[in-house]
Amino acid sequence: MPIAIYVGSDNRIELTGLRDPDDDSYVNDATVTALLKDSTDTSTISGSSITLTYVTGSDGDYRGSIPSSVSLTAGTAYYARITATSSGRDVLIRKSCSAQYYEGCES
């Protein structure tokens, strides 16, 4: 199921439980970046390149925010490409996303 991302809103993006594949330990010192790609995973959406920072005290969790200024089209599919690098090793995570308008709270 795609992750909802909201048009005209700041959107949190998370990577949780990053682990070392050799010893299964949590990786808490990675450099983690993300960007949005179009539905074909070829074109980068302008302004969507962000850095995710380690969540202090967590087990391999990282967070960042895609700014509201990124131009998204409701009903359009995107991919979040997350790259984590630690100790000279890289991992690429690809998450499917769907842009929509935030419906708000019930009144």
Which tokens hold the place of 15? 């990577």
Please tell me the predicted confidence (pLDDT) of residue 103.
86
Residue 1: pLDDT band by 50, 70, 90 thresholds?
confident
Mean pLDDT for the chain? 94
In a domain, 76, yes or no: yes
Mean pLDDT throughout 80-97? 94
* Residue linked to tokens 């200024």: 69
In a domain, 61, yes or no: yes
Going by C-alpha positions, the residue among 17, 9, 4, 7 that lies closest to residue 65 is: 9
In a domain, 106, yes or no: no
In a domain, 105, yes or no: no
Please tell me the predicted confidence (pLDDT) of residue 106.
64
Inform me whether the pLDDT recorded for 105 exceeds 80. no
In a domain, 107, yes or no: no
Residue 9: pLDDT band by 50, 70, 90 thresholds?
very high
The parent domain of residue 44 ranges over 3-100
Going by C-alpha positions, the residue among 6, 15, 16 that lies closest to residue 76 is: 6
In a domain, 24, yes or no: yes
Structurally, the chain folds into a number of domains equal to 1
Residue 2: pLDDT band by 50, 70, 90 thresholds?
confident
CB contact at 8 A, 52 and 30: no
Q: Report the CATH number that the domain containing residue 87 is assigned in CATH.
A: 2.60.40.10
Mean pLDDT throughout 82-97? 94
What pTM did the predictor assign? 0.89
CB under 8 Å to 36, separation ≥6 — which residues?
5, 44, 45, 48, 66, 70, 72, 78, 79, 80, 81, 97
Nearest-5° Cα angle at 65, 100 to 31: 135
